[in-house]
Copies of this chain bind each other. A is one copy, B any other.
Amino acid sequence: MIVNSEQAGEIQAQRKAIQSTRRVISDGLEDILYEAQPVLDHGFVRVIDYLGNDSSIVQAARVSYGSGTKKARGDEGLIRYLMRHRHSTPFEMCEIKLHVKLPIFVARQWIRHRTANVNEYSARYSILDREFYIPEAATLAAQSTSNAQGRDEILPENEAKAVISYLKSHSEASYDGYKKMLADEGKLGLARELARMNLPANIYTQWYWKIDLHNLFRFISLRADTHAQYEIRAYADVIGQLTKRWVPIAWRAFSDYETGGAHLSAAQTKCVKAMLMGTEINQENSGMSPREWNEFKDLLNISESV
């Protein structure tokens, strides 16, 4: 359960309140506004509000007096041109506000994206809920030996079981200690801002997060990437699907030119040119380090015998 019944009621009440507006709307987001999209075991992402849609990008790029859109085809062409040539400011003219529930260790990665507005639930003011992220066995993996920042082989079943069992009991015990520090029969009890310090990084927190579309694309590009930790990737993927609903044309351009493409280094560009001319290239004559060469082969599906 990601929201309790009282919260579900508040969400339903807000979904039912329909208003009239002169502003542009996004049908894709109106459909799911306020609804909690589940992520991990207790987390969610909810779209709370938004400003603008695909037409707002072209309207700003043209500094228009009216809606800014011409023919649908021309609009899409312009959006793709802007994306391809790194004209970021028109994409900044759309804004989205999310309510996110997430483990603290994910929040600590997320907050590094500075060009965004954040209001986090205050554990100085309020008492945190007894909700902890406990990974599924299938996501418990050993340290990667090739990538010092990642994970690799999945743990064998008995190891995974032991980890999960430990995390569960440790989380519960930590929360019991937290509550006991806060208040205990006949005692004064510790201030909230201090008592929280024993809580582990897998406890859930929540915040309101607001960001413009250009910086949201940066967030998704970095956090839905295979180098990002699985847990934040789970949020980035869900937010990607919400973004697709919001601004389908911009999303397509982003997928085609950013995340779906490939960035070649100077040496790699030179090698591709040579290979297209028929020259045989291997690591030795490529000008790349072995590590870069391997990344290159993966990127372009190159077998060693090319």
Contacts and interface: CB of A to CB of B under 8 A. Distances in A.
B34 A22 contact: yes
Contact of A120 (B25, B63, B268): B63
Interface of A: 3, 6-7, 10-11, 13-15, 17-25, 30, 33-34, 48-52, 56, 59-61, 63-67, 77, 80, 84-86, 89-90, 92-93, 95, 97, 99, 103-105, 107-108, 111-112, 114-115, 117-122, 124-125, 133, 135, 140-144, 148-153, 155-156, 159, 163, 166-167, 170-171, 174, 177, 180-182, 187-194, 196-202, 206-208, 210, 212, 222, 227, 229, 255-257, 260-269, 272-273, 275-276, 289, 292, 295, 299-302, 306
A29 B192 CA distance: 37
Contacts of A114: 114-115
Contact of A63 (B30, B77, B119): B119
Given A19-B22, A119-B63, A150-B191, A200 B202 contact: no
Nearest to A61: B119
